[in-house]
């Protein structure tokens, strides 16, 4: 029995309606049908031009023999193996030192002529002698006291016979030679005293740095507490919050509130975003399309918002998010006005604000460290997800931070 491919190699093809006699299961191809070659019919004979083309594809470019495999204009494996053996024979007859070629192969262990081998061995002996002179005397400058015997040093090398091969240019680092302290007793004692002194200095330096870090952390903690207390007492401070159609870059405002540090409402309004409020956003803040249908657009609220924020310190919980929302709404507003550079105009409007982010100092004040991020975890605001309620929640967080303004921070 043959596969369809095997029948084709014998210039046979399936007869009309010829069914497989069996199936061969393979891991790669699954079930492969097998056919009876006696029931197959012969293919039409190939023309001479096709045969010649097929023969050229299987002809070696070196020896001219027609092989069983397609060569694609490359030498056959027989010629490749022959060339490789010739290269190996030439390499064996070429000196690795001077490159001289002779009839007989050089010794395989070093593959060098007599002169090159002698020079290699002499160089190795000189390196070994220099190394022995270095590792057997005290390592301190100017000291010639022998601290290790030559016998011990040679034994160390003998245990590592691979280091003694003349073709290796390297030797073990004398400063890292394990069997020897490499110092005479007086220098060893002086070195130990110096090491103890340096260890004590390093320990003292680490303690100073640790205390400086602690002092800096205490000062930063006091500054955060004072910052929160000052913000609550500052009449120029307002708190801003927005509710939106989502968390994406093109989310639109559906509610906006501005509150003074004393709790006075400066601005609190729903905003018609001009788009449908997604159900996922409604599940968070509870604002529906029906609630904002008759609300003013952002362009109508913008004058009041600009007046509420002018000359004020604006506190926002997670300021980058709310500034991004305002940037998008301002860009849409300036585009509608026909501004030639709406993004630049929006950036200029935002640049006129004095904005402080409350989330980062509050999270640092809470001090819930995250080893993965290497910083304090951001703390939730715990507001009611409405603009005015979240503004009041920001004031509560500031009150928590500033409550200990008169107490020492440990």
User: How do residues 34-51 score in pLDDT, each as one tens digit?
Assistant: 999 999 999 988 899 988
pTM over 0.95: no
Look at residue 201 and tell me if it is in a domain.
no
Look at residue 200 and tell me if it is in a domain.
no
Is residue 283 located within the same domain as residue 135?
A: no
Look at residue 34 and tell me if it is in a domain.
yes
Is residue 40 located within the same domain as residue 115?
A: no
Is residue 267 located within the same domain as residue 174?
A: no
Q: Give the C-alpha separation, 371 to 265, whole Å.
A: 40
157 contact partners, CB below 8 Å, separation of at least 6 = 128, 163, 164
Is residue 234 located within the same domain as residue 165?
A: no
Q: Which domain does 34 fall in, by range?
A: 4-45
Mean pLDDT of all residues belonging to the chain: 90
Is residue 345 located within the same domain as residue 255?
A: yes
Helix 185-233, helix 387-402: angle, nearest 10? 130
* Closest listed residue to residue 265, CA positions, set 292, 298, 304: 304
Is residue 361 located within the same domain as residue 226?
A: yes
Domain boundary among 183, 206, 230: 183
Is residue 240 located within the same domain as residue 371?
A: yes
Look at residue 153 and tell me if it is in a domain.
yes
Q: Give the C-alpha separation, 278 to 246, whole Å.
A: 8
Is residue 171 located within the same domain as residue 236?
A: no
Is residue 170 located within the same domain as residue 231?
A: no
Q: Which residues pair with 139 in a beta bridge?
A: none
Please write the tens of the pLDDT for every residue from 209-268: 999 999 999 999 999 999 999 999 999 999 999 999 999 999 999 999 999 999 999 999
Phi, psi of 203 (to 5 degrees): -65, -45
Q: Give the C-alpha separation, 260 to 308, whole Å.
A: 10
Is residue 27 located within the same domain as residue 120?
A: no
Do the Cβ atoms of 57 and 76 come closer than 8 Å? no
Is residue 233 located within the same domain as residue 125?
A: no
* Closest listed residue to residue 63, CA positions, set 85, 84, 78: 78
CATH code of the domain in which 243 resides: 3.30.420.10
Domain boundary among 12, 28, 45: 45
Please write the tens of the pLDDT for every residue from 317-327: 999 999 999 99
Q: Is the pLDDT of residue 349 over 50?
A: yes
Please write the tens of the pLDDT for every residue from 273-300: 999 999 999 999 999 999 999 999 999 9
Domain boundary among 183, 209, 235: 183
**Looking at the chain, how many residues does it have?**
410
Look at residue 191 and tell me if it is in a domain.
no
Instruction: Say how far residue 308 (Cα) sits from the centre of its chain.
Output: 45
* Residues 113-139, mean pLDDT to the nearest whole number: 87
Q: Give the C-alpha separation, 239 to 354, whole Å.
A: 12
Do the Cβ atoms of 401 and 257 come closer than 8 Å? no
Q: Is the pLDDT of residue 408 over 50?
A: no
Question: Domain count of the chain?
Answer: 3
Q: Give the C-alpha separation, 49 to 61, whole Å.
A: 20
71 contact partners, CB below 8 Å, separation of at least 6 = 57, 58, 59, 60, 61
Look at residue 56 and tell me if it is in a domain.
no
pLDDT at 136: 86
Look at residue 208 and tell me if it is in a domain.
no
Q: Give the C-alpha separation, 65 to 56, whole Å.
A: 10
Burial degree of 125 (CB within 10 A; 0-12, 13-18, 19+)? exposed
* Closest listed residue to residue 392, CA positions, set 239, 182, 174: 239
Is residue 243 located within the same domain as residue 382?
A: yes
Look at residue 206 and tell me if it is in a domain.
no
Q: Which residues pair with 66 in a beta bridge?
A: 59
């Amino acid at each position: 029995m043959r596969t369809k491919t095997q029948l084709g190699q014998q210039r046979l093809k399936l007869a009309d309606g010829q069914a497989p006699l069996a199936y061969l299961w393979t891991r790669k191809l699954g079930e492969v049908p097998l056919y009876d070659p006696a029931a197959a019919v012969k293919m039409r004979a190939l023309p001479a031009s096709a045969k010649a083309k097929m023969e050229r594809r299987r002809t070696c470019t070196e020896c001219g023999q027609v092989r069983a495999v397609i060569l694609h204009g490359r030498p056959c494996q027989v010629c490749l193996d022959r060339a490789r053996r010739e290269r190996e024979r030439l390499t064996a007859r070429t000196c690795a030192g001077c490159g001289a070629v002779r009839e007989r192969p050089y010794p395989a262990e070093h593959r060098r002529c007599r002169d090159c081998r002698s020079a290699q061995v002499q160089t190795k002996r000189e390196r070994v002698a220099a190394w022995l002179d270095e590792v057997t005397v005290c390592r301190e400058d100017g000291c010639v006291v022998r601290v290790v015997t030559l016998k011990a040093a040679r034994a160390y090398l003998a245990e590592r016979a691979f280091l003694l091969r003349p073709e290796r240019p390297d030797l073990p680092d004398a400063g890292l030679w394990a069997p020897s302290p490499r110092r005479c007793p007086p220098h060893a004692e002086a070195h130990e005293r110096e090491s103890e002194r340096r260890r004590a200095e390093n320990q003292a330096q680490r303690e100073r740095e640790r205390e400086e870090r602690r002092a800096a952390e205490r000062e930063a903690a006091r500054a955060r507490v004072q910052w929160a207390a000052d913000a609550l007492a500052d009449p120029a401070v307002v708190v801003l919050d927005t509710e939106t159609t989502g968390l994406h870059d093109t989310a639109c405002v559906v509610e906006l509130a501005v509150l003074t540090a004393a709790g006075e409402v400066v601005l609190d309004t729903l905003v018609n975003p001009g788009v449908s409020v997604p159900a996922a956003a409604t599940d968070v803040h509870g604002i529906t399309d029906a609630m904002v249908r008759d609300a003013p657009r952002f362009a109508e609220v913008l004058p009041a918002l600009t007046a509420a924020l002018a000359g004020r310190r604006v506190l926002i919980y997670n300021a980058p998010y709310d500034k991004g929302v305002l940037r998008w709404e301002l860009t849409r507003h300036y585009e509608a006005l026909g501004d030639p550079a709406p993004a630049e105009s929006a950036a200029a409007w935002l640049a006129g604000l004095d904005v402080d982010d409350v989330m980062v100092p509050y999270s640092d004040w809470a001090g819930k460290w995250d080893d993965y991020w290497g910083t304090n975890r951001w703390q939730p605001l715990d507001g009611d997800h409405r603009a005015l309620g979240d503004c009041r929640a920001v004031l509560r967080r500031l009150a928590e931070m500033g409550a200990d303004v008169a107490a020492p921070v440990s």
